[in-house]
């Protein structure tokens, strides 16, 4: 059974760095073809892909946010991480992690974690 669960700070102030953790089970990020992605959704709005990390440690970032994003993984502990630097109110959203398949779809999603950026 594949599950993913996000965790984060809940609320942070503008200019701070947002650190998110995705803890997953039912698959391994050391298995060929496996990738984990981060996707966010502001309240009442659509979905925005942020970043992906794969089993061989390749990484991809949304070009519009690339300079602010860092994705990493801890294969031994079945976790993936995302850092976003210099946050502002526009980064307020629900953040999801999801497993990405070989054909580029996201087949399993976490429940999401709400992040609010406010002074």
Partner 1 sequence: EIVLTQSPTTMAASPGEKVTLTCRASSSVSYMHWYQQRSGTSPKLWIYETSKLASGVPNRFSGSGSGTSYSLTINSMETEDAATYYCQQGSSYPPTFGSGTKLEIK
The two beta strands, 18-25 and 3-7, are antiparallel
Which part of the chain contacts partner 1 (CB under 8 A), choosing from 10-18, 19-27, 74-82, 109-117?
109-117
**Contact in structure between 37 and 81 (CB atoms under 8 Å):** no
Window 34 to 93, contacts with partner 1 (CB under 8 A): 37, 46-49, 52, 60-63
Does 112 participate in binding partner 1 (rule CB under 8 A)? yes
Strands (E), 8-85: 11-12, 18-25, 35-41, 48-54, 59-61, 69-74, 79-84
| Per CB under 8 A, 10 contacts partner 1 | no
Q: Which residues of this chain interact with partner 1, rule CB under 8 A?
A: 37, 46-49, 52, 60-63, 96, 100-101, 103-112
């Amino acid at each position: 059974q594949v599950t993913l669960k996000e965790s984060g700070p809940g609320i942070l102030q503008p200019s701070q760095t947002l650190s998110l953790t995705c803890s997953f089970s039912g698959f391994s990020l050391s298995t060929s073809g496996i990738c984990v992605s981060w996707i966010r959704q502001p309240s009442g709005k659509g979905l925005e892909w942020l970043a992906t990390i794969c089993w061989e440690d390749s990484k991809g970032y949304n070009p519009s946010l690339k300079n602010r994003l860092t994705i990493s993984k801890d294969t031994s502990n079945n976790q993936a991480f995302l850092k976003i630097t210099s946050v502002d109110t526009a980064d307020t959203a629900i953040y999801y992690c999801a497993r990405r398949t070989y054909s580029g779809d996201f087949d399993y999603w976490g429940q999401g974690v709400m992040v609010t950026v406010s002074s």
